Structure 1
Amino acid sequence: MQEPKAAEKNTPYWWEAAPVMPLPPLPVAKKLDVVIVGAGYAGLSAGLVLAREGRSVAAFDAMHPGEGASTRNGGITSGSIRPNYATITRRFGEQKAMAIETEGKVAREFLYELIKTEGLDCDFQLVGRFMGALGYDQYEKMARGAEALAKRLGIESYAVPRAEQCNYIGTDFYRGGTVRMDIGGLHPAKFHAELLRVALASGLTVHSKTPVTSIERDGSGFRVATSAGTVQARQVLVCTNGYTDGASPFLRRRLVPVRSRIIATEELPHELMARLMPKLMMMGENRELGFYYRPSPDGTRILLGGRDSSRGNSDPAAPTLRLRNGLVELFPELEKVRFSHSWFGNVAMNRDMLPRIFEKDGIVYATGFCGSGVVWAPWVGTRAASKLMGRATEASTAFDFRPPASIPFYRGDPWFLPAIIKGYGLQDKIAWWRARR
């Protein structure tokens, strides 16, 4: 059995075609209309809107722009919401649940139109997504959900019985599944690079490797201290998501950075890819610690991701091995395949498991994308920009409501995550046993 350390690189596969690049250092302006903290998808999308409306605006990133989740994710345009429709209805009411589900459709359409109208070269393909069912009871429930989704929102969504599963995925692991045709895939690092290009061209200033160290009220505005100087800003927008630090203590107590790791195979023979992924769809499954996976944009590799419970600078061998075993469980013929890359990035979870726009002490936050930032970050970022400009109609979103609740005894170090992930793993084992009885 191949050791997981045989992965050639521990950097994202996406960086091969679109490496994260430093930006030339720029002087920090003394005064600005808006300071944005974070230059990922959300920060750049907000900055693009604000700059085109004539606002003086700068985004500050503690790393190189996009070095966080924006260039490390799987590039699947799912716009998934972790709580299901029934759960959201129970917690917030049916009106909120329907608004959130409807907004998912609108947000995906917004992303696709953004890519088209701005000419963003990011390998986007609207290929659909297949979700595998672990057992027949789960399949029946998923099939009813697909039918209801098609009726409520007019989305092309349908069930795939196990007898027809081979037309979508070359595995016997699942007991059927469902397909949604409004989901596709893109190259996340290329998407960020293109978004950065158009934002800079529109007048947004982006400061690379320039962390914000504090944000304080100063009269009617804010005094924002950075590693390169201090700026007076009328407004502040925080878009740090899974990389929130001590400069935003209020947010830090409400967002938990969770590692998500992805492995990429070496190039596979065309005949093998055609058998394993005949439609080159995005893929997923319904487990608490389920995998998401997809073909590379050129159709030559498989990329598979899932949760990583390691912390700090720990050895990537164990979480890589878990993903390797998951890949082989799905596709036994890949047992001897080599990996070219294994890497991780942080996604930001909150107690509601819903993305959010909210305001606290005059600071606007657009964050908490819960692992689905490819769709939600650009959408929420643009809504936040409209909120800052006082345009209520354009800013309207079901995600603009109270801040997520804080997490007791938590100040930024997710010490409790390994235990939670083990608990999810136990739930998956029980669900698997019940599904296969």
Structure 2
Amino acid sequence: MSAADIFAEGFKAEPYWWEAAAPETDLDPLPTRADAVVIGSGYAGLNAATELARAGLDVVVIDGGRLGEGGSTRSGGMVSSGQKLVVGGAIKGIDPELFDRMIGDSISSFDYLQTLIQGEGLDADLAITGRFFGAHARSLVEPTWRNGRILAEKTGVNVHFYDRGTQRQVIGSDYYYGGMVVDEYGGLHPGKYHRALRERARKAGVKLRSHAKAGPVRDAADGMKLVPTERGDILARHVVSATNGYTRKDGHPELARRVVPVKSYQIATEPLPPDLIETLIPKARMISDTRRDVIYSRPSPDGSRILFGSRPGFFERDDREAAPAIYERMTEIWPELKAYKITHAWSGFVGMTADKVAHMGKRDNSDFAAGCNGNGVALMSYLGYQTAQKILGRQNQPTAFDRDQFTAVPLYSGNPWFVPIVAAWYRLRDWSERR
């Protein structure tokens, strides 16, 4: 199938998730004063806003675009606990005691997400189906298993190990040289989860306003802060910045030196035969692998199609132009999918940090939570909640992610000029390991 032939009739260059839960526009006037302003309407911002409002504060959430248009509804919707810290290599250079606390908070973030969705009856299609981590090179099988044993020891999850001869029990592909499955991981529907958080926030009394791009927060009289926006200024006692991969240097100059937006792309296949999906991804598991230039895949929550995410190459492209390269990577793992087209292609920015760890704290005259590093569904929801608890003085102790040390990226001021260089280096190393 040629590149031009991979697009199904009615193809859309926007997230598949928006079919069920589209972003919102709310152009009601902004308040001139509030107890708290939350900048950014993603998972962190909405969880923070709801906790503050439930405590009796007058809260407004503002977003530069539509509500739910940013990274939260553009993700793969996978949920896990401490996997990124252990498997992603963030353990390097971190004090062991601090690392153990981070693992504890990561586990708490996963528990928080499940309790939130199940306890409050949120419509989010959360399903704990397990996750397969594939070794893309023969030399990485043993390190993958070693990481799995550490993950089981540190987080208490159940991990199962497979070599190349047994991996078809858990993934219908011969691409990998083995891998592991973590039973307790799963996924949700990012669009539905976001819509449920919006509804939850409104019920708590939160005002949600779109198309109100914010400028730098300034000190004002009597301990207040001034939040300038394109639609007017707001005076507030507290400001929460929850912009993550959409942090701009003209809005948050200090954070913008520390959070690098890296674009990740996804495609969705057309509806597939149910038996084919079960063959390729048994038990609707989440899929990722050991590549630095990471891939991630899963069935859609309704089981009708396969979603696949990656980067198309070294340089950023528009979503339609990127789709053939993503399709090629998908069909390299599952050649059977060459017989099917794609209905959606989209991208979103992931907030990356120099130490590969999320951060909470105070910068740019506001409390912030940022740096999901590709693990944001549970963690950013939790850090939004913790930011609110901190403002309210209700924390028993600070989270491990709330640290003064937050290193700026060298030679970086908000323009990620080095991302293509790093992407090329990652892809070269991945190729070398596999070949």
- Normalised by the length of structure 2, the TM-score is 0.94
Between the aligned residues of both structures, percent identity stands at 35
Q: Distance in 2 between matches of 1:148 and 1:228?
A: 50
| Partner Cα separation in structure 2 for residue 86 and residue 132 of structure 1 | 14
1:301 aligns with 2:305: yes
How many equivalent pairs are there?
Answer: 430
Letter in 2 for 1:429: W
Corresponding residue of 1:350? 353
Q: Label 1:113 to 1:16 Cα distance change in 2 as closer, same or farther (>3 A).
A: same
Separation (CA, whole Å) in 2 of partners of 1:228 and 1:265: 39
Q: Please give the per-residue CA displacement for 1:41-80, whole angstroms capped at 9, x wherever unaligned.
A: 0000000100000011111100111100111110111346
Q: 1:243 to 1:86 in 2, by over 3 A?
A: closer
Hey, what's the Cα distance between the residues in 1 that align with 2:60 and 2:405? 25
Alignment equivalent of 1:369, drawn from 369, 372, 376: 372
> Which residue of the partner structure matches residue 264 of structure 2?
260
Displacement of 1:409 after TM fit? 3.3
Query: Counterpart of 1:238?
Result: 241
1:194 CA drift (Å): 0.4
Return the alpha-carbon distance in structure 1 between the equivalents of residues 295 and 177 of structure 2.
16
Give the partner amino acid of 1:152: K
1:87 to partner: Cα distance: 5.0
- Give the partner amino acid of 2:230: S
1:73-92 to 2 correspondences below 5 Å: 73-79=75-81, 82=84, 84=86, 87-92=89-94
Q: CA deviation at 1:410?
A: 2.4
Distance 1:232 1:86 in 2: 41
Structure 1 equivalent of residue 49 of structure 2: 47
1:292 equivalenced with 2:307 (yes/no): no
* Cα distance per residue 1:221-248 (max 9 Å; x no partner): 2111112221211111100011112111
RMSD: 1.9
From 376, 392, 395, the equivalent of 2:395 is 392
Q: Secondary structure at the match of 1:264?
A: strand
Per-residue CA deviations over 1:376-399 (Å, capped at 9, x if unaligned) read 110000011111112231x63110
CA contact (8 A) 1:2 1:336 kept: no
**Structure 1 residues 6 and 289, CA, compared in 2 at 3 Å: closer, same or farther?**
same
Contact 2:25 2:209 in 1 (8 A): no
Quick one: structure 1 residues 129 and 272, their matched pair in 2 at CA, closer, same or farther if it must change by over 3 Å?
A: same
Alignment gaps of 5+ in structure 1: none
Asked if structure 1 preserves the Cα contact closer than 8 Å seen for 2:173 and 2:333, the reply is yes
- Identify which range, 31-40 or 145-154, moves more after superposition: 145-154
Could you tell me how far apart the structure 2 residues matched to 1:114 and 1:277 are? 28
TM-score, normalising length: structure 1: 0.93
Aligned to 1:112, the other structure's residue is in SS state helix
List gaps (5 residues or longer) in structure 2: none
**CA distance in structure 1 between the aligned counterparts of 2:364 and 2:274, rounded to whole angstroms:** 56
1:103-142 equivalence runs, <5 A: 103-142=105-144
C-alpha distance in structure 1 between counterparts of 2:138 and 2:160, whole Å: 16
In the other structure, the counterpart of 2:404 is 402
Q: Determine helix, strand or coil for the equivalent of 2:284.
A: coil
Three-state SS of the structure 1 residue aligned to 2:372 is coil
Give the superposition deviation at 1:330. 0.5
Where does residue 327 of structure 1 map in the other structure?
330
Check the 8 A contact 2:308/2:330 in 1, yes or no.
yes
